[in-house]
Amino acid sequence: MLMFLGGGESRTVNSVTLFPGTNKSGEPESFTELTFKRGEIVCIVGPTGSGKSRLLADIEWMAQKDTPTHRQLLVNGNVPDPKWRFSSADKLVAQLSQNMNFVMDLSVEEFVRLHADSRMVNNVEQVVANIIREANELAGEKFAPDTAITSLSGGQSRALMIADTAILSRSSIVLIDEIENAGIDRKKALDLLLSEDKIVLMATHDPMLALMGDRRIVIKNGGIHAVIETDDKERAILTDIEALDKKVQAMRTLLRNGESLENFEF
């Protein structure tokens, strides 16, 4: 069983290297190669329909010039093992999409325990408790362990899966599609994922998240148009954006609790 789960060999991913393909017009992308490393956040920005999700899909499937963009990826400098591409048990990538729908008739605790048992962890009780606790730290509205997963809101579901992915998933690469739409604490979510030393790539329209990344990839017409390093000037701007975001979050909390914003200090 451990071999089936990939436990009999090293699955450590230190780097993923992306080589260019073409945009929607068949023109070559304007970069030589991109390397993503453990503990790094890379943001993907661009207009709706520009190809952000296509880039995430290429990384998820470890494209080998066999996708519409003709991009290629290497893992730790080597062509990835085919089972990392096609075997559900051995995939190195976890993707958190915009829509998460549960259909199983289980409580949150039962669902997480099922995943923990399938991974054959030794300290199941502690792992399950940690995941639910961290998920509640991310979610706007807390939920109990005995809450039915089918009754979770979209934001609660996303919070649960982020915590589950960070703590329990063996995937070294995490792809996130528009986390800002989930109604969760975005900064805490990224901090949690990075604490597990994963490679995080995130498509976003949120300026705060974009500047939280070490780099951002700009997508236009289906291709990578530019790669921008986040510098000190932008990090200073990020501080201002975070202060504004805290005020927005505080107003949101007041509104959720049925309170007035009449005396709110801006």
pLDDT tens digits, residue range 109-130? 999 999 898 888 888 999 999 9
Please state, in angstroms and rounded to a whole number, the distance separating the CA atoms of residues 190 and 179: 10
206, 153, 149: which is closest to 176 by C-alpha?
206
**Burial class of residue 190 (count of CB atoms within 10 Å of its CB; 0-12, 13-18, 19+):** buried
Query: pLDDT band for position 16 (50/70/90)?
Result: very high
- DSSP annotation of 214 reads S
> What per-residue confidence (pLDDT) applies to 46?
94
> What per-residue confidence (pLDDT) applies to 11?
64
Beta strands in the chain (DSSP E): 15-19, 34-37, 41-45, 72-75, 93-96, 173-177, 199-203, 215-220, 223-229
> What per-residue confidence (pLDDT) applies to 166?
86
One-letter amino acid identity for 142? K
> What per-residue confidence (pLDDT) applies to 7?
47
DSSP letter string, 52-108: HHHHHHHHHTT-BS-STT--EEEETTBPPPHHHHH-TTT-SEEEE-S-----S--BH
Is residue 5 over pLDDT 60?
no
Mean pLDDT in residue range 94-111: 78
Hey, what CATH topology would domain 15-229 get? Rossmann fold (3.40.50)
208, 206, 135, 204: which is closest to 168 by C-alpha?
135
Query: pLDDT band for position 9 (50/70/90)?
Result: very low
Cα–Cα separations (whole angstroms), residue 76 to 12, 13, 15, 16, 32: 9, 6, 5, 6, 17
- DSSP annotation of 22 reads B
pTM over 0.85: no
Share of the chain above pLDDT 90, in %: 43
Mean pLDDT in residue range 133-149: 90
> What per-residue confidence (pLDDT) applies to 113?
93
> What per-residue confidence (pLDDT) applies to 82?
84
> What per-residue confidence (pLDDT) applies to 237?
94
Mean of per-residue pLDDT scores for the chain: 86
* C-alpha triplet 115, 121, 126: angle, nearest 5°: 85
> What per-residue confidence (pLDDT) applies to 103?
66
Residue 49 has which token pair?
A: 């329909």
240 vs 264 pLDDT, higher one:
240
Residue pair 85/168 in contact by the 8 Å Cβ criterion = no
Mean pLDDT in residue range 16-40: 94
Please state, in angstroms and rounded to a whole number, the distance separating the CA atoms of residues 161 and 29: 33
Mean pLDDT in residue range 146-168: 88
Residue 227 has which token pair?
A: 């790669």
Please state, in angstroms and rounded to a whole number, the distance separating the CA atoms of residues 36 and 38: 7
Is residue 194 over pLDDT 90?
no
Please state, in angstroms and rounded to a whole number, the distance separating the CA atoms of residues 115 and 135: 15
Among 6-15, 102-111, 203-212, the minimum mean pLDDT is found in: 6-15
The residue extents of the domains of the chain are 15-229, 232-260
Sheet strand arrangement including 41-45: 93-96, 173-177, 199-203, 41-45, 215-220, 223-229
Mean pLDDT in residue range 63-89: 88
